[in-house]
Amino acid sequence: MKELIKNALSSSNKINKNSLIEKIIPVGGGCIHKAWCIYFQNGKRVFAKSNHIDNINMFKFERECLSVLKRFANKSYICVPKTLDLITYQGISVLCLEWIDLEQSQQNLLGQGLALLHKSSSEWSQKKFGWEEEGFIGSSTQTRGWSSNWGEFFVNYRLRPQLIKAKEWGLIVDDYEDVLIYLSSYLNDHNPRISIVHGDLWSGNCGSTKDGLGSLYDPASYWADREVDISMTKLFGGFNKEFYKGYEQIWPLDTFSKDRTNIYNLYHLLNHANMFGGSYKENSLKILKDLRSRV
């Protein structure tokens, strides 16, 4: 595989052609793609992800998401890796990104940078919630589409597709139709501003650079209520008080944002239940039953 990756990069007109590849080292890159650090003889490094060519749409989606995040990110707070090339070669696809050195560091700038990204994008002229092309959340598809009604969008383009998939492990969608109707109305009454969101913001998809800046990567972006990002940071942990303090310094959340945390995280729990099963099923059902008590 290393030789295949080497040949793929050598075929690129965009990757550094002034220096030969010195070595290719596998690195941690999640459970979907293989990930590599490419060392060049001139000292340059490139981060590369590889997968079968049939999965190239995952890389196309990631490339587009990174481009949009980079457009709205304040470089004094947040570093978003630049896409260097997307290569197809002998049955594989390879996404090449700028290498960023990460380390455990304070999260204040990460929080501030995320708030600035949300705020600056909300001031743009986007009029609807959604995304133009089909995307991915993990290995699952993320439904494309647009709506000016946030509640209807989140229910019909995020929750409902996952609920329909959950039929495979026994969830009966019709049993929760009243919950979906309630959520559609409740979320729309919230009337959030439209922001670009990371979309899959757990601690493994962000970090801090050696310079102390925040960094965002592996996104599943769309135009949404910014609270979907903040909610997910609370799902699996890994974010400290400095992160939330930094966010609140720039764009404070409203008093009732905590009431929406489980609603937004239900999307990710259902997705995990559909991909991995286990306790994610029970957690999803618990939230659905808790939400029914609100109806």
Q: Is the pLDDT of residue 1 over 90?
A: no
286-295: which pairs have CB atoms within 8 A and are 24 or more residues apart?
287/262, 287/263, 288/176, 288/179, 290/262, 291/179, 291/182, 291/183, 291/262, 291/263, 291/266, 292/176, 292/178, 292/179, 294/182, 294/186, 295/178, 295/179, 295/182
- Distance from C-alpha of 295 to C-alpha of 249, rounded to nearest angstrom: 34
Q: Are 110 and 206 in contact (CB under 8 A)?
A: yes
Query: Across the strands, what pairs with 38?
Result: 24, 46
Kindly state the helix (H) or strand (E) to which residue 270 belongs, with its residue range: helix 261-276
pLDDT of residue 30: 66
184-223 pLDDT per residue, tens: 999 999 999 999 999 999 999 999 998 889 999 999 999 9
pLDDT of residue 126: 81
Averaging pLDDT over each range in 6-10, 247-251, 290-294, which range is the top one? 247-251
Q: Is the pLDDT of residue 26 over 70?
A: yes
Q: Which of 87, 20, 11 is nearest to 49 (CA)?
A: 87
240-253 pLDDT per residue, tens: 999 999 999 999 99
Q: Are 60 and 95 in contact (CB under 8 A)?
A: no
Rounded mean pLDDT, 112-138: 95
- Distance from C-alpha of 69 to C-alpha of 65, rounded to nearest angstrom: 6
Rounded mean pLDDT, 6-29: 82
Domains and CATH numbers, the chain: 2-74+82-99 (3.30.200.20), 103-292 (3.90.1200.10)
DSSP 142-164: E--EEES-HHHHIIIIIIHHHHH
Name the residue with higher pLDDT: 36 or 104: 36
Catalytic positions, please? Answer: 200
Backbone Cα Rg of the chain = 20
Residues 6 or more apart from 68 whose CB is under 8 A from it? 196, 221
pLDDT of residue 2: 81
pLDDT of residue 29: 62
Q: Is the pLDDT of residue 113 over 70?
A: yes
Q: Are 230 and 253 in contact (CB under 8 A)?
A: yes
162-178 pLDDT per residue, tens: 999 999 999 999 999 99
User: How many residues make up the chain in this entry?
Assistant: 295
37-62 pLDDT per residue, tens: 999 998 899 999 999 999 999 999 99
Could you tell me the pTM of the whole model?
A: 0.95
Mean pLDDT in the chain?
94
DSSP state at residue 82? P
